[in-house]
Amino acid sequence: MIQFFQVYKTYPGNIEALADISLKIEKGEFVFITGPSGAGKTTLLKLIIRAERPDRGEILVNGRNIARLKNSQIPLLRREVGFVFQDFKLLNHKTVYENIALVLEALKYKKREITKRVRQILRVVGLEEWVIKQTPLKLSGGEQQRVATARALVKSPSILLADEPTGNLDPGLTVEIMNLLEKVNHLGTTVLVATHDTNLVAKYKKRALPLYRGKLVG
Amino acid sequence: MGAFYFIRRALRDIKDNGLTHLLSIGTIAISFFLFASFLLVSINFDSFLQAWEKKVQIVLYLKDGVAKKRILQIEKEIQKQEEVQQVKYISKRKAMESFKRDLAPYGGLLEGLKEEVFPASLEIKLGEPFRTPERIKALAARLNKIKDVEEAQYGGIWLERFSIFLYILRWGAWVLGAVLVIIIVTVTANTVRLTLLNKRAEIEIMKLVGATDAFVKLPLYLEGGLQGLFGAGVSLLLLFLLFRFFSLKISPYLSLYFGQLRLSFLSPDLIAGIMGVGLASGLLGGLLSLQKAAEV
Ligand SMILES: Nc1ncnc2c1ncn2[C@@H]1O[C@H](COP(=O)(O)OP(=O)(O)OP(=O)(O)O)[C@@H](O)[C@H]1O
Ligand SMILES: [Mg+2]
């Protein structure tokens, strides 16, 4: 469960990214965060994994008080939350396998377990075996998107945050990625999708939290 | 996933950034080489000096025709000196016999040799604490003044200068050692900082997916430590090869002049110590650079 209570976030330079945000997302929900570019969608997602700190307000994630989290507790929080970054944040000099394995290494999985899980998750996101040894830049945008999604999912998070997961994809691929996210959601993971694509929101008929200039509207 | 996992990651970091690490390991190796060779030379000089000190004696040649009674008197007088451990009288005859024994292979030449040619002498052994060049020199000067003594002789006065040289060498080694630690710490701190810069993206991602601080930082500490260790190892290997070459090819010639040289390499304790210093200062360098970049 995710809860925001009157959360404010201002970036250096007096850029007010979020103001007075209060919201509640139940366990197992599928929610869109919508709004035009610059509305504060990415900022909202980043607050959930403490990649950014709120200036004011309280944030609860799976019973943890994020604003007051001790540094040593941050890794524990991040293990429960998968994040598909808007810019993927894949390591371009490493193979797809290494990119995904890195997460499990960081969580101290055994080598055998890592190999098994990486293969498994690549099948789940619909990537074929040959992709494993490629570096991300050799792949298409849609394939990179899936690798990024696989990396977020490989640690079996209870919450998945996807920032513009269909941002640069053609309609066919968009459907595939959305199907994947719905599948993950059906398996019990809470899913938050940030998107500026109003058609997408209209099509999937999920709860939507519209942001505009840092405020929740409607 | 144990220590080996982190060492593997540290090694991978080193490999990923090969040239930088090669340069820093090279720098460390050169500084270590200087330090270790100072140490090696001073240790060998030291044992050389000690061997000499064990053998050292003063030979007191007596004037011709000194009466037996007078010789006993001189012996007593010498015995009273605190430095003296043992005095042994060598008569003309004995002197000749030992000379002949030493030169037996050249037998024929010695046929007509008369014992008159050899002066009688007193061989004086010194007590252990007094076997230093300074004490020997002082004692010999005193003995020289005894009546009926022709001359007090002792070998290796040049060793006196040697011991001063040794002293300087030893101090040099420690000063170098201190400089060395500073060099290693600086060099490793710098390369670790470079790795940190190169791996910024990877480190950011690792932290975003839930890696702990220790997990991210441990390989970087180790990287510093391994650099120090490799540098020390390379320098010791180099020094050892040079030492082998020297003791096989060059020391036989030196033996002609200085008697049997028994050269020894650094003891296992010292080798372990040097590797330890490398490891420790490397780890310290890693620590410093990570401290500076506190929030990675
Ligand atoms: N690190 C930062 N430093 C300063 N300002 C920032 C930073 N990150 C975001 N901002 C600003 O905060 C505001 C909200 O940004 P945010 O990235 O959350 O928007 P967004 O809704 O994700 O936009 P987009 O759809 O373009 O990704 C914008 O005005 C942006 O310029
Ligand atoms: Mg964004």
Structural domain harbouring A196 = 1-80+157-218
Mean of the pLDDT values across residues B250-268? 70
| Residue B266 per-residue DSSP state | P
Residue B108 has pLDDT above 70, yes or no: no
Asked if B210 is an interface residue toward chain A (Cβ–Cβ < 8 A), one would say: yes
Residues facing residue A73 across a β-bridge: none
Domain made up of B57-154: CATH architecture: 2-Layer Sandwich (3.30)
User: Do A118 and A203 fall into the same domain?
Assistant: no
The SS3 assignment for B210 reads: coil
Task: Decide if A59 is inside a domain.
Answer: yes
pLDDT at A23: 96
Backbone angles phi and psi of B87, in degrees to 5:
-125, 135
- Rounded to a whole number, what is the distance in Å from the CA of A103 to chain B's nearest CA? 6
Q: What is the strand order of the sheet A2-11 is part of?
A: A15-25, A2-11, A56-61, A64-65
What would the two tokens of residue B80 be? 């009273």
The CATH number given to whatever domain includes residue A179 is 3.40.50.300
Would you call A102 and B209 a contact, using CB atoms and an 8 Å cutoff? yes
Which residues lie closer than 8 Å to B105 by C-beta, 6 or more apart? Answer: none
- Nearby residues of B57 by Cβ (< 8 Å), 6 or more positions away: B123, B124, B125, B126, B154
Average pLDDT, chain A: 93
| B212 contacts chain A (CB < 8 A) | yes
Mean of pLDDT values over B152-170: 73
Domain spans of chain B, in order of start? 3-52+160-292, 57-154
Residues A164 and A103 in one domain: no
CB contact under 8 A, A102 and B206: yes
Burial class (CB in 10 A: 0-12, 13-18, 19+), A128: exposed
Q: How far apart are CA B279 and CA B283, in angstroms?
A: 6
* Domains: count for chain A: 2
- What CA–CA distance (Å, rounded) separates A16 from B280? 48
Of the pLDDT bands very low, low, confident and very high (cuts 50, 70, 90), residue B116 is confident
Question: Domain boundary at A135, A156, A177, which?
Answer: A156
In the reported structure, the alpha carbon of residue A194 is separated from the centroid of ligand 2 by a whole-number distance in angstroms of: 8
Q: Helices B158-198 and B213-245 sit at what angle, rounded to 10 degrees?
A: 150
* pLDDT, tens digit (0-9, with 9 covering 90-100), for A41-86: 999 999 999 999 999 999 999 999 998 899 899 999 999 999 999 9
What's the burial of A69, exposed, middle or buried (CB within 10 Å: 0-12/13-18/19+)? middle
Q: Once rounded to an integer, what is the mean pLDDT over residues B120-128?
A: 83
B202 in contact with A, Cβ within 8 Å: yes
Say whether residue B7 is in contact with chain A using an 8 A CB cutoff.
Answer: no
Give, for B238, the enclosing helix (H) or strand (E): helix B213-245
Q: How far, in Å, is the centroid of ligand 2 from the Cα of A11?
A: 14
Asked if residue B219 has pLDDT above 50, the reply is yes
Q: Does residue A86 fall inside a structural domain?
A: no
Which of chain A's residues have a Cβ under 8 Å away from the Cβ of B206? 102, 106
A77/B207 touch (CB, cutoff 8 Å), yes or no: no
Whether residues A110 and B204 touch (CB distance < 8 A) is answered with no
Starting at the edge strand found earlier in the chain, the sheet holding A30-34 runs A81-84, A159-163, A190-195, A30-34, A207-212, A215-216
Is residue B102 scored above 70 in pLDDT?
no
Q: Does B134 touch chain A (CB under 8 A)?
A: no
Q: Indicate whether A103 and A151 sit together in one domain.
A: yes
Ligand 1, CB within 6 Å, residue ranges:
A 11, 15, 17, 35, 37-43, 86, 196
Backbone angles phi and psi of A205, in degrees to 5: 50, 50
Pairing of strands A15-25, A2-11: antiparallel
Mean pLDDT on B116-142: 81
Q: Give yes or no: residues A76 and A168 share one domain.
A: yes
The tens digit of pLDDT for each residue in A190-201 reads: 999 999 999 999
Task: Answer yes or no: are the C-beta atoms of B25 and B234 closer than 8 Å.
Answer: yes
Query: Is pLDDT of B145 > 80?
Result: yes
pLDDT at residue B296 tops 50: no
In angstroms, what is the C-alpha Rg of chain B? 31
**What is the C-alpha separation between A119 and A139, in angstroms, rounded?**
17
Specify whether A75 is located in the same domain as A179: yes
Length of chain B as a residue count: 296
- Between B168 and A155, the more confident residue is A155
How far apart, in Å, are the Cα atoms of B277 and each of A27, B63, B179, B225, B281? Answer: 55, 60, 12, 10, 6
Q: Which residues pair with A66 in a beta bridge?
A: none
Say if residues B290 and B185 touch (Cβ distance below 8 Å): no
Three-state secondary structure readout of A167-192? CCCCHHHHHHHHHHHHHHHHCCCEEE
For chains A and B, count residue pairs whose Cβ atoms are closer than 8 Å.
55
Is the Cβ–Cβ distance between B183 and B28 less than 8 Å? yes
pLDDT > 90 fraction of chain A, expressed in percent and rounded: 82
Task: Report which DSSP code applies to B63.
Answer: P
Are A85 and B209 in contact by the 8 Å Cβ rule? The answer is: no
Pair (A31, A43) in one structural domain: yes
How remote is the CA of residue B152 from the centroid of ligand 2, in Å?
97
**How do residues A145-186 score in pLDDT, each as one tens digit?**
999 999 999 999 999 999 999 887 888 889 989 999 999 999
**Chain A residues with CB-CB distance to B212 below 8 A:** 72, 75, 106
- Reported as a single tens digit per residue, the pLDDT across B4-19 is 888 888 888 788 778 8
CA distance A50 to chain B (A): 9
- Residue B228, classified by CB atoms within 10 Å of its CB into exposed (0-12), middle (13-18) or buried (19+), is buried
Please state, in angstroms and rounded to a whole number, the distance separating the CA atoms of residues B87 and B124. Answer: 5
Domain boundary (A115, A141, A156) is at A156
Q: Is residue A132 part of a domain?
A: yes
CA distance A203 to chain B (A): 31
Parallel/antiparallel/unpaired status of strands B121-126 and B84-90: antiparallel
Around B124, how many Cα atoms within 13 Å sit in the side-chain half-sphere?
A: 30
Residues of B in contact with A111 (CB under 8 A): 1
**Ion ligand 2 residues within 5 Å by Cβ:** A 42, 86
Q: Which two tokens stand for residue B246?
A: 């020297």
With respect to residue A57, please indicate whether it lies within any of the assigned structural domains: yes
Residue-wise pLDDT tens digits, A37-47 = 999 999 999 99
| Residue A37 is assigned to a structural domain of this protein | yes
Distance CA A63, CA A192 (A): 18
Final residue in a domain of this structure, among A123, A156, A189? A156
Of the ligands numbered here, which is closest to the C-alpha atom of A209?
1
The answer on pLDDT for B244 being more than 50 is yes
| CA–CA min distance A150, chain B (Å) | 12
| Cα–Cα nearest to B49, from B135, B159, B155, B158 | B159
Domain membership flag for residue A112: yes
CA distance A85 to A197: 16
Q: Are A57 and A7 in contact (CB under 8 A)?
A: yes
Indicate if A73 and A180 belong to the same structural domain. yes
Shared-domain flag, residues A61 and A28: yes
Q: Output the six-digit token pair for A168.
A: 């640069």
Same domain, A44 and A96: no
Model pLDDT for residues B223-240, shown as the tens digit of each residue = 888 888 999 999 999 999
Rg (CA), chain A: 17
Does the structure show a pLDDT above 60 at B294? no
β-partners of residue A7 are A21
Write down the pLDDT at residue B61: 86
In terms of domains, do A144 and A161 share one? no
Can you tell me whether residue B257 is helix, strand or coil?
Answer: helix
Strand partners, B62: B149
Residues A150 and A102 in one domain: yes
Structure tokens at B235: 């320098």
pLDDT one-digit tens code per residue, B43-57: 887 777 777 767 777
Residues A67, A46: one domain? yes
